[in-house]
Structure 1
Amino acid sequence: MIIIFRKALSFIKRSYLLQMSYKFEFFLRLFFMFFNILTYYFVAKLIGTAGQAYLAPYGGDYFSFVLIGIAFSGYLMVSLRGFSESVRDEQMMGTLEAMLVTPTDASAIITLSTLWNFIFASFRVLLYLAIGVLLGVSLAGANVLGALIILALTIVCFSSIGILSASFIMIFKKGDPINMLFMSTSELFGGVYFPVAVLPTWLQTVSHLLPITYSLNGMGGDRLSG
């Protein structure tokens, strides 16, 4: 257990140092994240109460709805693509083969190399919520424990798909197009940017096949109020 913990810290430190070596890209990502939040904030102002019938289960406020959607969907996207991206990055840097000949199992390498992505995703969620509070979103009625339980179960579900995608890359040395299709479909039909109820009935069938739909619906009662 101590050895695994030390290896995890080593992977996190390595990923952090690599990320900080591209400081401009790091701060640029934060800037566009803030820009993205402002975009949805003003879109919510434009919509006003027009979609209140669809947003009633989520507190009736579009900005609160989409804020939580884009914040926590970041975890799900990391679960899906984080493993494969880490493996691909190691391939591009020529370090994957060197790590595979070490005593560390391939499964541990894939898992530990993604820890920094989840840490950064957590930082982004906290930043999303902090900016949301500054823009008038209330945290008073949030069921944090319930949201965390649902989030943890969803990450496990999505990570299984992400690990399969990473395995695909390790074997065939190429990206997995199925993973990209699944991510795009989940974002569009999973209730991240708008309630599933807005969609036509036949498209809601697609939504009901996606794990992210049930995850965000589970957080529906815990979504923040404006």
Structure 2
Amino acid sequence: MMFTALVHRGRATYAFFERNWNLTRRYWAWEIVWLLYNIVNALSVTFIGAAAEQITGAKVKFDTNSLLLVLVIGTSVWSYLSVTFDGVTDIINMERWEGTIEYTFMAPISRFTHMVGSCLYAVAHGLLFTLIQLLVIAAFFHIDLSHANYLTALFLLLLGSISFIGFGIGAAILPLLYTEKGMQMSFIVKAVLLLVSGVYYPISVLPGWMQPLARISPATYVLEGLREAIMQGRPLWSPEIWSCTWPLILTGLISVPASVYAFSLAERYAKRTGKLKRNG
């Protein structure tokens, strides 16, 4: 009986994964637009690093390769995390756009299964976007990756995905409760994470009152760990990597269950007050 229930839940999870893939194919032109935007944004930031000596007029030559690596890691990780984050919050936005949100919420499927299927697709989608972006950047810049520890980098990226998904599910409450303004509000959440997470700079340059916010963001630990893994070749068991790993584990254990629970409360409220009736 338990095995049958697990199989049923697995099929239901895959159904949401497949549904999101079909939505991506339907709006393929938008996918190309966002992919090109991410690539151009990453290239623009990386070109700033390549031109740093000319911009500053520095007399002493500094390590351009390290600067490029910092920026490439930052832009790539942020592209991945933002695509994953958007994939989760778009669970609600797309449902409203398609006019199917009431039917989905009436289906005899747990919200956890619904969210897991959508989140798995968001992770796969984000990895594909990031891989394409990295291939394009590699064609423009020669970056020394001889010291990179790819196993540690992949581990941190996937571990960070769990924590970021928790934040995404929490942010998905906004478009659920606020039809017209919820999507814009979720973008503000993402923008704040971009500001405080040290995507393009170390968090030590932030004002003192902002630095505690950086320690709440899982992106901070993903970026710090990836830079240690790729630039210094740190193995999984090194203290530098562990100092980034345990906050991600803790954040994931707290954020995902808490966000799913909060979403279920918001869903019941939206059903009770008729907020699901409007599409837009």
The CA deviation string for residues 174-224 of structure 1, in whole angstroms up to 9 with x for no partner, is 427764443212211211122223334454344334332222112221235
Distance 1:123 1:114 in 2: 14
203, 211, 215: which is aligned to 1:208? 215
Q: CA deviation at 1:67?
A: 1.5
Q: Aligned runs of 1:152-167 on 2, under 5 Å?
A: 152-167=158-173
1:13-64 CA-partner distances (Å, limit 9, x unpaired): 322222222332222223223322321232122113969xxx97xx853222
Higher RCO (Cα < 8 Å, 6 or more apart): 1
Structure 1 counterpart of 2:194, from 187, 191, 199? 187
Selected match of 2:150 from 140, 144, 147: 144
Aligned to 2:94: 89
Distance 1:148 1:60, change over 3 A: same
Deviates more, 1:95-104 or 1:172-181: 172-181
Q: After the TM superposition, which of the residue ranges 8-17 and 140-149 deviates more from structure 2? A: 8-17
Instruction: Report how far residue 6 of structure 1 moved.
Output: 2.7
Higher Cα radius of gyration: 2
Q: Is the 8 Å Cα contact of residues 65 and 144 (structure 2) preserved in structure 1?
A: no
Q: 2:211 is matched by which residue type in structure 1?
A: Q
Contact conserved, 1:197 with 1:204, CA < 8 A, in 2?
yes
Distance 2:37 2:89 in 1: 24
Mapped contact 1:41–1:63 kept (Cα < 8 A):
yes
Give distance in 2, aligned partners of 1:15 and 1:217.
31
Identical residues among aligned pairs (%) = 24
> Which residue of 2 is the match for residue 39 of structure 1?
44
The normalised TM-score by structure 1 is 0.79
* Residue matched to 1:100: 105
Mean alpha-carbon deviation: is it higher for 41-50 or for 184-193?
41-50
Residues 46 and 71 in structure 2, CA contact (< 8 A), matched pair in contact too? no
Cross-structure match for 2:239: none
The answer to whether structure 1 residue 48 and structure 2 residue 49 are counterparts is: no
Q: Give the unaligned 5+ runs of structure 1.
A: none
Amino acid at match of 1:14: R
Q: Partners of 2:127 and 2:96 in 1: how far apart?
A: 26
Partner of 2:75: 70
Q: Distance in 2 between matches of 1:157 and 1:29?
A: 23
> What is the alpha-carbon root mean square deviation over aligned residues?
3.0
Alpha-carbon distance, 1:136 to partner: 1.0
Matched, 1:198 2:198: no
Cα separation, partners in 2 of 1:33 and 1:164, compared to 1, 3 Å: closer
> Which of 10, 15, 18 pairs up with 1:13?
18
How many residues matched?
Answer: 219
Tell me the secondary structure at the aligned position of residue 223 of structure 1. helix
Letter of the structure 2 residue corresponding to residue 161 of structure 1: F
Q: How many angstroms apart in 2 are the aligned matches of 1:86 and 1:138?
A: 39
Q: Which one is further off, 117-126 or 175-184?
A: 175-184
Please list every run of 5 or more consecutive structure 2 residues that lacks an aligned counterpart in the other structure: 1-5, 233-280
In the alignment, the residues of structure 1 paired with residue 185 and residue 101 of structure 2 have an alpha-carbon distance, to the nearest angstrom, of 23
Question: d(CA) in 1 for partners of 2:96 and 2:229?
Answer: 41
8 Å CA contact 1:165, 1:176 repeated in 2:
no
User: CA–CA distance in 1 between the matches of 2:210 and 2:174?
Assistant: 29
